[in-house]
Amino acid sequence: MSLPVEQHLQLNQQLCFKLYSVNKAMNRLYAPILKKLGLTYPQYLVMLVLWEHKKSVNVKEIGTMLDLDSGTLSPLLKRMEKLNLLTRNRSVADERSVDISLTAHGKHIKIKAKHIPLQMFSKTGCTKDEFSELNEKLELLLEKLS
């Protein structure tokens, strides 16, 4: 950056704050849409993983994909099990491991959720090219930070 040193510490110059603000804005947009399905945003992310894999997924794998630790993920999965979205079962191969599977209700919600990505895309005001470019840039940034 070629800014004077004092400008480096201005809030509007912080990429981290812009990303934080975008994340909060996206969550605000998701909330009413997901509420109709009875899901929170973190629950929606878990459902996306399970819908994508179409089979049981190990808790550790879900945590890795969503970058969530077990202290956050375990209570979330327990709440989702109480909502009849998924089941938690000890792995046959390793009883220390827990596998997560969708219930019939969890599978059914996928039908109701199919509109969400397009609905959210329309709320961004981006063109398909802008959206694709932004997604690629964020993926590259994530790779560089990891």
Residue range of the domain that includes 100: 41-145
pLDDT, tens only, 86-113: 999 997 778 788 999 999 999 999 999 9
Running DSSP on this structure, what letter comes out for residue 13? G
pLDDT, tens only, 24-78: 999 999 999 999 999 999 999 999 999 999 889 999 999 999 999 989 999 999 9
Q: Give the CATH number, domain containing residue 118.
A: 1.10.10.10
In a domain, 30, yes or no: no
In a domain, 61, yes or no: yes
In a domain, 100, yes or no: yes
Beta strands at 86-90 and 57-58: parallel, antiparallel or unpaired: unpaired
In a domain, 20, yes or no: no
Rounded to two decimals, the pTM is 0.88
In a domain, 112, yes or no: yes
In a domain, 86, yes or no: yes
Segment holding 88, helix H or strand E: strand 86-90
| Chain position carrying tokens 């993920």 | 73
pLDDT, tens only, 133-143: 999 999 999 99
∠ CA(25), CA(26), CA(31), 5° rounding?
Answer: 100
Q: How many domains does the chain have?
A: 1
| Chain position carrying tokens 């879900």 | 62
